[in-house]
Amino acid sequence: MSLIKKILIANRGEIAIRVIRACKELGIKTVAIYSEIEKDAMHVTLADESVCVGPPRAADSYLNIPSILSAAEITDAGAIHPGYGFLSENPHFAEACKKSRITFIGPTPENIRLGGNKSRAKQILRKHGIPVIPGSDGNILDKKSALSIAKKIGYPVIIKASAGGGGRGMRIVREESMLEQAFSAAEAESLAAFGVGDLYIEKYIPLIRHIEVQIAVGGDGTAIHLGERDCSVQRRHQKLIEESPSPVITEKLREKLGKYAIKAAEVLKYRNVGTVEFIVDRDDGIYFMEMNTRVQVEHPVTEAVTGVDIIKEQIRLASGLPLSIKQKNIKIQGHAIECRVNAEDPYTFAPSPGKITFLYLPGGPGIRVDTYIYSGCTVLPYYDSLIAKVIAHGATRKDAVDKMKRALSEFKIEGIKTTIPFHKTVLTNPDFLSGEFDTGYLERLKGGHL
Ligand code: MV4
């Protein structure tokens, strides 16, 4: 087995550049794709070759499967890296790559299908002894069974779309009289968003920590984990700050999380890299929530504390090479924090696309910036608003926070609004500094002094 020779990156922005960087270091040629409006984009400039795949709207370009497969064929790319978002969790795309004899750099189509069927994944893991939140065993078939299960587990309950993501098709139900209406609303929302109305129900656990474990699995099924990320600073299901290790996870809990994550990978016959998502409640109860079958935006915090290049690992594994590291050699070194810089108003989070008239990026010891922006570039309204990720790595959490504050103060971005002022506020907030935050933290901060 040897490495793939040329990779087409079916993505844009900072993640396309991240993949190009890994390819360059591995001696792999790169093909960028772009939409009609993006010919001056940095990912196009940095790639060896590029192909225009369609009009600006994502549905016509970055989601256009026939166009992307043709681009791979005419450039003789042997593999496609999907990045995150777009086609990264589309089992039909992974299948279509296979049919065209193009290596999809990611898990198997079956892994992706199961990851996208959250009630089924939960059902399988529960059967194998991994703790899950009490609730329906699989989908709920009708309102009557929803009512009887809710009565059994007790209110509040949460109704979730099995195909869900980003909080769509999700309803918290606080009392029995509200359940039937919430069921209909969740079903309609799920049908509209995902084309399927399958729902499941579980006990609602308030004030949780969102903890996810990075895994990597070799072709022989050997699974390792790279520790956890704490993604509890979120707004409307959009993560804003992530860190590793979590400030609330003890060594004992970490071991448990790692064990469950590896077991999940084995039970689900998972391949390549992925993330096992858990929620941790106030009594340190750990529950499996879902499996993410892509590389995630926040992967750099794990790279910082483990020294493992997750994108290179993905490429090596997809090439049929074994894992480059053993579990016993993975040591968590120091603490890393990532702030997502979005082209948005820092108070209302309304999108703020436009031309960047002046740019200076931070750097220096312990700071990594992954971005596609440059002085004079235009942030387009067609795509997501993430323009840069800043990752600070220090010996301790306090060191990482201090480095992050320093880095945020160095940024000079003129012409558009960004969420940098928001991050500066969070990084001086006593609850954040003490590690005392959960997924409800931002709501309380807003009611207070943000
Ligand atoms: C939950 C939960 C509490 N209890 N499930 C959010 C997105 C999706 N991945 C699942 N999510 C949650 N599932 C149970 N059983 C809390 C969340 C959750 C959340 C819920 C409502 C409003 C904001 C939230 C932020 C993070 C997590």
236 CA closest ligand 1 atom index: 23
- The percentage of residues in the chain with a pLDDT greater than 70, rounded to a whole number, is 99
Q: Residues 384-389: what's their mean pLDDT?
A: 98
CA separation for the pair 257, 287 (Å, rounded): 9
**Domain 209-448: which topology?**
D-amino Acid Aminotransferase; Chain A, domain 1 (3.30.470)
Q: How far is the CA of 205 from the centre of ligand 1 (A)?
A: 8
Q: Residues 342-371: what's their mean pLDDT?
A: 98
Atom 14, ligand 1: residue with shortest CA distance: 204
pLDDT in tens, 406-416: 999 999 999 99
Q: Please tell me the predicted confidence (pLDDT) of residue 11.
A: 98
Q: Please tell me the predicted confidence (pLDDT) of residue 444.
A: 85
Q: Residues 92-107: what's their mean pLDDT?
A: 98
Residue 281 has pLDDT above 50, yes or no: yes
Q: Please tell me the predicted confidence (pLDDT) of residue 449.
A: 45
Q: Which two tokens stand for residue 45?
A: 């400039």
Mean of per-residue pLDDT scores for the chain: 97
What are the residue ranges spanned by the domains of the chain? 6-105, 134-203, 209-448
Q: Residues 341-358: what's their mean pLDDT?
A: 98
CATH 3.30.465.10 correct for 6-105: no
> Is the distance from CB of 390 to CB of 367 less than 8 angstroms?
yes
pLDDT in tens, 218-257: 999 999 999 999 999 999 999 999 999 999 999 999 999 9
Q: Residues 137-158: what's their mean pLDDT?
A: 97
Residue 135 has pLDDT above 60, yes or no: yes
Q: Please tell me the predicted confidence (pLDDT) of residue 332.
A: 98
Atom 11, ligand 1: residue with shortest CA distance: 167
Could you list the active site residues? 294
CA separation for the pair 333, 397 (Å, rounded): 11
CA separation for the pair 368, 312 (Å, rounded): 17
167 CA closest ligand 1 atom index: 7
Q: How far is the CA of 289 from the centre of ligand 1 (A)?
A: 9
Q: How far is the CA of 206 from the centre of ligand 1 (A)?
A: 8
Q: How far is the CA of 388 from the centre of ligand 1 (A)?
A: 26
In sequence order, what are the residues at sequence separation of 6 or more whose Cβ sits closer than 8 angstroms to the Cβ of residue 400? 243, 334, 335, 336, 337, 366, 392, 393, 394
The model's confidence at residue 445, banded by pLDDT at 50, 70 and 90, is confident
**Domain 134-203: which topology?**
Dna Ligase; domain 1 (3.30.1490)
172 CA closest ligand 1 atom index: 21
Q: Residues 121-144: what's their mean pLDDT?
A: 97
Q: Please tell me the predicted confidence (pLDDT) of residue 157.
A: 98
Q: How far is the CA of 243 from the centre of ligand 1 (A)?
A: 19
Residue 419 has pLDDT above 90, yes or no: yes
pLDDT in tens, 304-317: 999 999 999 999 99
Length of the chain: 450
A 10 A CB-CB count for 76 gives 12
The model's confidence at residue 447, banded by pLDDT at 50, 70 and 90, is low
CA separation for the pair 325, 318 (Å, rounded): 15
Q: Which of 6, 4, 3, 2 is nearest to 74 (CA)?
A: 6
Q: Residues 151-171: what's their mean pLDDT?
A: 94
Pocket mutation for ligand 1, best pick of 170, 211, 231, 296 (most atoms within 8 Å of C-beta):
170
Residues having CB closer than 6 A to ligand 1 are 133, 158, 167, 202-205, 208, 210, 234, 237, 439
Residue 448 has pLDDT above 70, yes or no: no
Residue 381 has pLDDT above 60, yes or no: yes
Q: Which of 267, 292, 22, 259 is nearest to 123 (CA)?
A: 267
Q: Which two tokens stand for residue 354?
A: 């436009």
Residue 443 has pLDDT above 90, yes or no: no
In sequence order, what are the residues at sequence separation of 6 or more whose Cβ sits closer than 8 angstroms to the Cβ of residue 372? 12, 13, 14, 16, 17, 41, 42, 43, 387
